[in-house]
Structure 1
Amino acid sequence: MGSDAGMAEPSPRPALRVVIVTDGALDGDSRAVRVASAADTAGYAVTLVGTGPARSAPPSVTVRDVTVETALGGHRERRPRPGLRWPLAYRGAEAYERRTALLAAYRSLLATRAAELDVMHRPLPLQAFARAGHGLTLAGLAVRAGWTGLRAAQHRAAVERRRTPDTRLDDLAAELARLAFGRRAWRRLDPALLDQEVAYGPVLDAVRPHLIHALGHRALALAIRAALRAEGAGHRIEVVWDAPPHVPAATRRAAVVDDALLRSYAREADGVVTVGDRLAGELLVRHGLSTLPTVARNTPPATRVTGRRDAGVRARCRLGPDVPLLVHTGPVTPDRGASTVVEALPKLYDLHAAFVVPDPDDPYLAELRDRASRIGVHARLHVVRYVPVPEIPAFLSSADIGVLPVHQLPHHQTVLATRYYEYAHARLPVVVSDVRAMAAATLEAGNGEVFRARDTADFVRAVGAVLTNPRRYRKAYDRVELLRQWSWQTESAPLLDLYARLLGPLR
């Protein structure tokens, strides 16, 4: 009989593999980064899957950058089918690009020829003959330019219509597809989803995770299909759907696509998580879920913020410590109320405004800058690029006010925005519009002022009240329980409990 010393040590159980997948960009996706960090800290082997790099991800998390081609989804734009409305449009992107490039080349050649005629010395009859020939060529080019320009303009109009299919005929086509194909209508109406399947499918299959955490309903569809393939090969994958607030689709076609995806995959998820209690109840009823979704709000982790006045966003804007500064974070779109901030600046004198955005070259942001120039406040409007997710509260803390001037839209009513929690952890007084969830939280906590959405004068009143007595509003954050309740350490606990119920306890 052998001794205990001769017995082999039991091999350690391999870590359970968790994939967090999003169909969008990873960089700046605070939800993806925070979920990955929580799962990594809990002991799972975590892989982040999405487009672009993920600079904010923990070093121990594997990042898989997926490139989605547009072979199927881009076909509508490359061959826009002009029809009767644009009969002269080029039939494809290749012909459009070739013709417009040829026109530009001919213009350059003729400009060179004109310069040559000016500098070359020839006998007068030859010079006159050459200039006459050049003039005829210019006239021919003008005719050709007009014809090419007309066809090119019609092509661009046809492509733009294909990008935004919102005519009655488009709506009718979407309804017919819904009736004919039912839950599979998304395949017909949005081939770009098939491009995503081609890009993401092999990555998910190669990782062979035990759980996929899908951010949004498009990622959910990718996850469910990967789970079905794995089950066919004898490997079980649990799927968690992370459902954000519902944002109304821009067109009827997009609405039919979203509805078809949700009807196909929402009830197939093994677990559902979302960002608010009221939203959880709505999801339960809308999709006929078997259990109430787990609630995990997208809050920052509780960390110590120094609040230095010479650092962060203030330093990025090159402002001194005594210059009043409000900050707005997140993408800038018309329904987020950024125009209210710009319109208020002439009435707020020395106040500066910083927009912390993912894309400083966004076209709508250019419109805001133009408006600021016209009303004489362009020097007090600053545009700053995103910082890594873990650094956001510290980066914002040198400002004086955090603003959320969003409009009264249904998807803004039920949950607090991530930016609200980030302002709180930066210890910033807030000025928010009278959207239900934010207004109620602000009035209860006493950490800011509420104004009427789209009302510039009331926004000026609210900002002035905060600047007059900022300490009054910052005192709300002295209550330890408030920020502890609004922390990722607290909010991630139910999410990890859901993982444990699906996968079993970690060793």
Structure 2
Amino acid sequence: MTLIGRAPATVVLAGVDVRQVTVRDVLRTHRVSRPRPGLRWPLAYRSAAAHDHRTTLLTAQRSLLTTRGAELVIVHRPLPLLALARCGYALAWFRHGARVGWTRARAAQFRAAVRRRERPDGRLDNLVTEVARLLLGRRAWRRLDPGLLDEEIAYGPVLDAVRPHLIHALGHRSLGLAIRAALRAEGSGHRIEVVWDAPPRVPAQTRRATVAGDALLRTFAREADGVVTVGDRLAGELRLRHGLSTTPAVVRNAPPLATGALDHPHGVRERCHLAADVPLLVHTGPLSPDRGPDTVIEALPKLYDLHAAFVVPDPGAPELGALRDRAAQLGVQARLHVLPYVPVDEIPSFLSSADIGVLPVHQLPHHQAVLASRYLEYAHARLPVVVSDVRAMAAATLELGNGEVFRARDTADFVRAVGAVLTNPRRYRKAYDRVDILRQWSWQTESTQLLDLYARLLGPRR
């Protein structure tokens, strides 16, 4: 097995060849770093290099003028020559000031152009996007998202060198890479099966990104030999949207079922240095705004001695600064704990010493259709859950009785739900004992669908 990706591998698995790929992003950044002058930015520099060159040159000239001024003070000259030199010096400063003003105007327009290019969501940007969609159709992704071609340059040679029998492509960006690699391989007489792993699509921030993503999927979605996703509702939506011949297989990213007791040498409670009787809720995963970390922070002043632990990929990430600042403003910074990830196989035991697992996600389409991996991790840790009223997780919680549901973004209702769980946590933990739900939500069960798909595609080569 070969694992190919951009991020460095943090876990080494036996029998897995990990290959890290570096994507240079030349084509993606070219449009941003070289804004074209036009009606909006007629004075903007044509490139970052030109901007840096001019500003650096002015800094050097300022240093030379400062040195010249010191020289006029130190070096003795006859009065007429000194007066002439000072007039020339004043004129040089005047010219320097004019150049600085001109450069600042051009630099300001350059920075504005770069900011707009980084987020092309203006009316003119949307008009250009619609023109590209109408004229180029399914090929519009090449024009609207050149970063996909950067990825082709980086990943394509690696996939050609590996010559796999099957490519499991995670996400819509990887799907195009896999299909094109399969076409090149088939041209040389080597058959590659492609499985598209389709997670819920997060809404794009701009119309340009949305159209590019849709064009990419119209081009390649129906070319995949097999499709897997993480929820039944999402599987049906994918089949209808892309005209797939069969309904995608549903494979949730579930933890393996533990055979022994949940015992971690340094669990989340110990890492927070809390006694066993101190209430502790835990939130795992990246802290994007749509995941609702603000709801947790805003609730802490109303929950008195409750502590909150956020288990994140990078505790030093810049986006955590705003969260810590808000906690300090509310006077609850001592009850906020930020911890790094632990290995995947340790997650349930690591979380099991907490009292509640929370998922305060907002009401957005990509949160509605599936049970989040974090929900399954909380379940295997036997934690009562507090989830917002997004469709799939709210339904599972109400049916199983393993937690409380609150209205998304409603801090007061979140406080009510947490209080209800803390009042009688044993009631909610017992829900995991009444049915064989943990075995149903385990990787041992979920992986059978994936292995069956692999076996069907590979046939005798299994």
Q: TM-score, normalised by structure 1?
A: 0.83
Give 5+ residue unaligned stretches, structure 2.
none
Q: Deviations over 1:196-240 (max 9, x none)?
A: 101000000001100011111111110000000000000001111
CA positional deviation for 1:148: 3.4
What is the match of residue 99 of structure 1? 54
The 8 Å contact of residues 305 and 393 in structure 1, kept in 2 or not, is answered as: no
**100 and 357 in structure 1: CA distance in 2 versus 1, 3 angstrom threshold:** farther
Aligned to 2:255: 300
> How do residues 390-405 of structure 1 correspond to structure 2 at under 5 angstroms?
390-405=345-360
**Distance (Å, rounded) in 2 between the aligned partners of 1:355 and 1:140:** 56
2:182, 2:191 within 8 Å by CA — same for their partners in 1?
Answer: yes
Mean Cα deviation higher: 311-320 or 243-252: 311-320
Matched, 1:53 2:53: no
For residue 463 of structure 1, what is the aligned residue in structure 2?
A: 418
Query: Is the contact made by 1:56 and 1:390 (CA closer than 8 Å) also made in structure 2?
Result: no
Report matched runs for 1:59-78 at 5 Å.
59-78=14-33
Compared CA separation, residues 150 and 380, structure 1 to 2 (3 A): farther
1:6-85 → structure 2 map (5 Å cutoff)? 46-85=1-40
Give the alignment partner of residue 257 of structure 1, picking from 209, 212, 232: 212
Distance 1:370 1:141 in 2: 42
2:285 paired residue number: 330
User: Is the contact made by 1:310 and 1:321 (CA closer than 8 Å) also made in structure 2?
Assistant: no
Asked if the contact 1:56–1:389 (Cα under 8 Å) also holds between the matched residues in 2, the reply is no
Structure 2 Cα separation of the partners of residues 459 and 298 of structure 1: 27
Partner secondary structure for residue 342 of structure 2: coil
Q: 1:355-504, aligned counterparts within 5 Å?
A: 355-479=310-434, 481-504=436-459
Contact 1:305 1:397 in 2 (8 A): no
Q: Does the Cα contact within 8 Å between 1:310 and 1:320 map onto a contact in 2?
A: no
Aligned to 2:157: 202
Q: Secondary structure at the match of 1:80?
A: coil
After TM superposition, give the deviation of residue 477 of structure 1 in Å.
2.2
Q: 1:392 to 1:505 in 2, by over 3 A?
A: farther
Amino acid at match of 2:156: G
**Inter-CA distance 138–502: structure 2 relative to 1 (3 Å threshold):** same
From 158, 174, 178, give the equivalent of 1:219: 174
Task: Count the aligned residue pairs.
Answer: 458
Structure 1 residue 506: deviation in Å?
6.2
Matching residue's letter, 1:355: F
- 1:413, distance to aligned residue in structure 2 (A): 1.0
1:74 to partner: Cα distance: 1.0
**Deviation sequence 1:259-296 (CA, Å, 0-9, x none):** 11111111111111111111111111111111111111
Q: 2:264·2:346 contact (CA, 8 Å) conserved in 1?
A: no
Deviation at 1:77, TM superposition (A): 1.2
Is the 2:28–2:145 contact (alpha carbons within 8 Å) kept by the matching residues of 1?
yes
Work out which of the residue numbers 158, 162, 180 in structure 1 matches 2:135: 180
How far the C-alpha of 1:333 sits from its partner, in A, is 1.6
1:260 aligned counterpart, secondary structure: helix
Aligned-residue RMSD, C-alpha: 2.8
* 1:231 alignment partner, one of 182, 186, 209: 186
Gap runs ≥5 in structure 1: 1-45
CA contact (8 A) 2:281 2:308 kept: yes
Structure 1 residues 472, 76: CA separation in 2 closer, same or farther (over 3 Å shift)? same
Q: Which moved more, 1:414-423 or 1:497-506?
A: 497-506
Q: CA deviation at 1:187?
A: 0.7
Q: SS at 1:432's partner residue? A: strand
* Structure 2 contact 262–348 (Cα < 8 Å) conserved: no
Q: 1:216 to 1:121 in 2, by over 3 A?
A: same
Letter in 2 for 1:259: D
Code of the aligned partner of 2:273: R
Q: How far is 1:362 from its partner?
A: 4.0
Quote the Cα distance in structure 2 between the aligned partners of 1:370 and 1:402: 23
CA drift at 1:193: 0.6
